[in-house]
Structure 1
Amino acid sequence: MKGIEYLKRKLNARRRRVLLRYKYYEMKNGRLDLGRLIPPEQAVKYNSVLGWCAKAVDTLADRLSLIGFEDDTFDFMGIFNDNNPDVLFDSAILSALISSCSFIYIADSGDGTPNLQVIDGSNATGIIDPTTGLLQEGYAVLSRDTDTQKVLKDAYFRTGITVVRDYVERTQEEFISHAPAPLLVPIIYRPDARRPFGHSRISRSCMNLQNQARMTLTRANVTAEFYSHPQRYVLGLDEDAEFDSNKASISSFLALDRGEDGSNPQIGQFTQQNMEPHISQFKMYAAAFAGETGLTMDDLGFATENPSSAEAIKASHETLRLTARKAQRTFGSGFMNVGYLAACLRDDYAFSRNAVYQTTPRWAPIFEPDASQMSGIGDAAIKINQAVPGYFDKDSLEQLIGVRAGAEAGNGDTKE
């Protein structure tokens, strides 16, 4: 056991990076330093904000919808239904995509139904078992002061016991359970052997490309001022002549007197600024960001062609589809672990993991088919069932078309 102090240091060491990604997601990542090209007071005026990182996260999160479990022997979905699954699943998935890992805290409500609470990656950590995906021990901040971010309430998790400390009331409570692992379960996005707590959807490349695009957009805004009002100059004007530059910039008629030697002042105009280089550079960064995240230029606001069919949209998002499929596998494993430990807490018995190995998560289709696709799927299912009777049933068709049969329709409902 590493102990609570080790976990606190581990959380503090990684909290800053997680909060940085939340700033990019919430578009609060501050003003960029544009160097000597643009004075600071002008940079504040023309500062630009982009939501590409938020778009990359939301586009994937919106396509991940857990609707239930197959062979749900221990009624995992019943536990989730008692904990507002529409919000719980979406909140856990969104937080995991941003911070690479979110956590679900399982607590005993006292009435036999476990309470589930999502904790973001900046407020929880632990030592993970790479085989099961469960924690060996964990630590979570349950409450912070909104102004100072000081910890008001936290919890330390070990197998069979959860210690909750309230620093305001100066109390400490211990909760005993028969669960075979700590009651803090990680929901991880793209884990690997080197980084078992996964990777963030908002990568360093995404942040850098968004920063470069913001700088380009800011320069374009400054250039637009000179594009709308080209700079002019006057030669041969007397030093003591009264000249109102503001009036000259907005007046349609300008009168200038002769000099003392009788010469006329010469008026000229600098070359007008060109917006095209900035537009091309901005599109270049958009294309690079789209390639990095599996999006298309249309997703980032650049219309490239006429409206496409559902099949064409699916084909253009092939990289996103593969990414979503991978995320379904890792998130599904995490939610299975939550249901498993919650069932152990509910029944006050340490079930073996072998007892739930046949239970699998059911996800809604990543891309909902249109009417023509549904018709094609139906024809194919009929032909396959003629060759192999019973191969397709309503459950397997539901996973293809995302529509439940008859009175069973409804997101998250369990089947009898």
Structure 2
Amino acid sequence: MSLELTHVRAIGLSDDEVLTLRRLLTLWSRKRFKNALLGVYYDGHRVLRDLGISLPPETRNIQAALGWPAKAVQYLTRKHKFEGFSLNGEVDPFDMGEVFERNNFGLELPQALNSTYKQAVSFISSTRGVDGEPDVVLQARDAEWTTALWDKRRREISAALAIVDTDENDQPCEAVFYTRDAVLNIRREWGVWKVDRQPNRTGRVLVEPFINDPQISRPFGYSRITREVRYLTDAALRTLVRTEVSAEFFASPQRYVLGAKEGAFSGDNRWSAVMSRLLALDVNEEGEKPSVGQFQQMTMSPHLEHYRQLAQNFCAATDLPQSSVGLFSETPASAEAMEASEARLSETAEYQWRVFRHPLKRLAQNVVMLRDNLSSPPPEMWKLDVKWTPCRYVSPQAAADFTVKAVAAVPKIGETTEALRGLGFTTTQIEGMQAEWRRSSGASVLERVLAARGDSPAALVGSGQVSSDDDEG
């Protein structure tokens, strides 16, 4: 069946699906410029926005660049360290580790979160793997090439569209269309969308949004590259260019000569007069000696102070420490000072982990349903917990002191994994230590059994009851 609804014609889609596809394409087109603009600021490609007041025309084409917007995004992204899932203390209870490892999820998730802070929202899609792929393929998608519709009642995505390719006119020609009933690979040929439909048993759109600062009025949140950040970046770029222009004049002090004869500074003599240490001048036509003077030297301090103030405003707007933009104190920062400077950013990161917890749990449910061909997640998955490294910086000395005091007050804390996490060990380090403890504990148990029998390991090896490594093979 071929339908045409406001420039959307498709074969193999129902009327409702065509309407939804039309809404998604319209939404993507409307948001495309803003998302591209945020990308320009993030990449440091924003051109100088001259006010037309203080800069000479020759300097307006200076290719100045400033990486503040990228810092606003990356500093917060690097606060997030995902450690996996657990259920009642059991790590990876649904054996999802292989799927996440084969999808390189340790790299895919940070890229998604980076896009979240850059463009307010990013997505991770789940599809069934084919032809040697993992059982479930997880793919991070940014908002520049992905769009979605929000269901306010269910508080989840009702449909999503991921642009895969564009034509010579930079218009979508290949995409993946996600609905609650199907995953549709669509391709536009001669103005008509053709569909390859794959049924979806889960009853949910297999795309999970990761949102920065969601609000009731804006369910897809806000970018970290806010209007204020963009203005401060533009202002700082202008200040940098003014400083560079001032540096040219600062390097060549302005002098004047009164009473010089005509032609004294014609041609190449102008630059020689600026650069020479010794200036020789003849008397003028009236026989008078020329007098030489120098204008008061200008200073770059006002520009540098202005730049410093803009940098401080940027740090206040983004909760970044001032050292991130090159404002350092003369004395090295102590551990307490470092913790205080990043306190607000750490609070933001911890809040965002609570926001990301829900889509991560739903993503795990999607993986289990697709892998096991289920129509709903296992009932106990609602208890699944997301584990991450604490975002707040704490010095090793302070962490050790707190843990020692806590264990002294409640000794059983020392037997838990959380005590090791409190000391700053990562999940990988903790698992390695626990594996070594189990091996050493097994050896000590054997020794105790042999001691009770009055035997020694060497005696048992000699009697043939226990084999040694040299006897194997």
Fold shared by both chains (TM-score > 0.5) = yes
String of CA shifts for 1:323-355, please: whole Å, max 9, x gaps.
111111112222222221222121111225854
Match of 2:185 in 1: 164
Aligned in 2, Cα 1:396/1:200: closer, same or farther, shift over 3 Å? farther
Partner of 2:122 in structure 1?
Answer: 102
Instruction: Work out the CA distance in 1 between the residues paired with 2:419 and 2:113.
Output: 24
Match of 2:470 in 1: none
Hey, what's the Cα distance between the residues in 2 that align with 1:407 and 1:322?
25
Instruction: Give the fraction of aligned pairs with identical amino acids, expressed as a percent.
Output: 28
Alpha-carbon deviations, 1:308-329, whole Å to 9, x = none? 3333311221111111111111
Seen in structure 2, the aligned counterparts of structure 1 residues 13 and 402 have a Cα distance that, compared at 3 Å, is: farther
- The residue aligned with 2:453 is none
1:16 correspondence with 2:33: yes
The 5 Å alignment of 1:199-238 reads 199-238=222-261
The residue aligned with 2:113 is 93
CA distance 1:271–1:305, shift in 2 (3 Å): closer
Residue pair 2:365, 2:377 contacting (<8 A) in 1 also: no
Partner in structure 2 of residue 381 of structure 1: 406
Q: CA deviation at 1:166?
A: 3.0
- The residue number in structure 2 matching 1:33 is 50
Deviations 1:214-260 (Å, cap 9, x if unpaired)? Answer: 11111111111111111122222334545321111111112222111
Give the Cα separation in 1 of the matches to 2:422 and 2:370: 31
Moved more, 168-177 or 321-330: 168-177
Residue 371 in structure 1 maps to residue 386 in structure 2: no
Q: What amino acid does structure 1 have at the position aligned with 2:404? A: D
TM-score of the aligned structures, taking structure 1 as reference length? 0.90
Deviations 1:188-220 (A, max 9, x none): 111010110011111111111111111111111
Aligned to 1:124: 146
Partner Cα separation in structure 2 for residue 256 and residue 332 of structure 1: 79
Query: Residues 364-401 of structure 1, C-alpha deviation per residue, up to 9 Å, x if partnerless?
Result: 12145443123213213313423xx4597114642662
* Residues 53-64 of structure 1 mapped to structure 2, 5 A cutoff: 53-64=69-80
Deviation at 1:168, TM superposition (A): 6.9
* Match runs of 1:350-365 below 5 Å: 350-352=375-377, 355-365=380-390
Deviates more, 1:130-139 or 1:25-34: 130-139
Return the offset for 1:114. 0.8
Letter of the structure 1 residue corresponding to residue 289 of structure 2: N
Rg larger in 1 or in 2? 2
Residue of structure 1 equivalent to 2:67: 51
Greater helix share, structure number:
2
Contact in 2 for aligned 1:92/1:187 (Cα 8 Å): yes
- What is the match of residue 414 of structure 1? none
SS of residue paired to 1:283: helix
4+ aligned runs moved over 6 Å, structure 1:
none
The residue that corresponds to 2:323 in the other structure is 298
- In the alignment, is the contact (CA less than 8 A) between 1:362 and 1:399 conserved in 2? no
Structure 1 partner of 2:345: 320
- On the 8 A contact 1:365/1:402 being kept in 2, the answer is no
Contact 1:10–1:125 (Cα < 8 Å) also in 2:
yes
Which of 350, 358, 362 does residue 337 from structure 1 map onto?
A: 362
SS in 2 for 1:137: strand
Q: Which has the higher contact order (CA 8 A, sep 6+)?
A: 1
Q: Do the aligned residues in 1 keep the contact of 2:176 with 2:184 (CA within 8 Å)?
A: yes
Q: Tell me, in whole angstroms, the C-alpha distance in 1 between the residues paired with 2:135 and 2:422.
A: 29
In structure 2, list runs of 5 or more residues that go unmatched.
Answer: 1-15, 434-473
TM-score normalised by the chain length of structure 2: 0.80
Letter paired with 2:149: I
Cα 1:318–1:130 change in 2 (3 A) is farther
